[in-house]
Amino acid sequence: MTALYPLKFKTIFKDKIWGGEKIKTVLNKDFSPLKNCGETWEISGVKGNVSVVAEGDLAGRALTDLIKEYKQDLVGKKVYESSGDEFPLLVKFIDANEDLSIQVHPDDALAQSRHQSLGKTEMWYIIQADEGAKLITGFNQEVNKEVYLKHLEAGTLNEILNQEQVKADDVFYIPAGRVHTIGKGLLLAEIQQSSDITYRIYDFDRVDDEGQKRELHTEEALDAIDYKYYDSYKTDYSPEHNKAVQLVESTYFKTNVLNFNETLERNYQELDSFVILVCLSGEGTLQYGAVQISLKSGDSVLVPASLKTVVLTPVSDCKILESFVP
């Protein structure tokens, strides 16, 4: 059996009605022949979109096949016991050249009963934001199903939704049930549960190249929405150099940001999980034993659970998201 090593995967590019050019111009990923690119799926076990190893002795192997072969050595004992051969997380970059639809994702219980799927809790790290860019997350007041429906039917949903002005390095945690949309002018990294279940609430009456509107899921969304009002929706954290700063800790994933200009040794002895490293900006190297891998903005690496120490060395100021299953 081939020894495990930090794994890079071939990027899966997604053409979207709202996609733009930043995947190419900011992250240096060539999405041709697509005319635009709204999303890239960097590490995915989602059926029909399973990531394939890009480099090394395991090049060409699918992530789900590797889990079947390496089991807990790849994903961790606890993760394998709970998720089996399914990879529990999905890593994306998203470029919103136009507003995405207003949408909501179901939680595990609802997604399981309706779709035999995981629910979808996610987090966003804003990589780049055009001046004036906004997003929507949650409500700006207490509402209930009746109030929500009244505004939806009257076309005044925006009056009760919480809008946030956004800048680079902002972080938002989006639990299942929270109404949200990514606004025009935002490039972000997304860490989420391994699910592609989305209920589209409103799509700004857009049409595709064939003049067709996209399907809405008004009824399905009603039982999925969390109608509560929360005091704050943006994740509060204090950036620091050369150490891990925690951003999000949930049942599904824990994510830190590493902003470093000195060599960092990351010790994962206490973890019973794989680790995903997503390079947001800058350039560096990742070393495990004699294996050295280049890291630049737009790269994502899966560190198998059996690898307990990696060394990160910056070539230029480097910013990396570090995610794992707690």
Distances (CA, A) of 37 to 17, 94, 207, 317, 324: 9, 8, 17, 27, 27
CA 286 – CA 215 distance, rounded (Å)? 43
Determine the pLDDT at residue 231: 94
- CATH code for 244-324? 2.60.120.10
| DSSP code at position 23 | H
Residue 143 has φ and ψ, to the nearest 5°, of -135, 170
* pLDDT at position 118: 92
Instruction: Indicate the length of the chain as a whole number.
Output: 326
- pLDDT, residue 126, reads 98
d(CA 99, CA 184): 4
pLDDT at 207: 77
Per-residue model confidence (pLDDT) at position 255: 98
Count the Cβ atoms, other than its own, within 10 Å of residue 313: 16
Architecture label for domain 12-222: Sandwich (2.60)
In this structure, what is the dihedral angle of CA atoms 282, 287, 293, 296, given to the nearest 10 degrees?
-10
Catalytic residues: 200
Sign of CA dihedral 296, 121, 253, 249: positive
Q: What is the pLDDT of residue 209?
A: 73
Delimit the domains of the chain by residue range.
Answer: 12-222, 244-324
The kind and range of the H/E element at 65 are helix 63-70
Do 107 and 132 contact (CB within 8 A), yes or no? Answer: no
Residues of the chain with pLDDT under 70: none
Do the domains 12-222 and 244-324 sit in the same CATH topology, yes or no?
yes
The pLDDT of residue 125 is 98
Report the pLDDT value the prediction gives residue 188, as an integer from 0 to 100.
98
| Number of helices followed by number of strands (H, E) in the chain | 7, 20
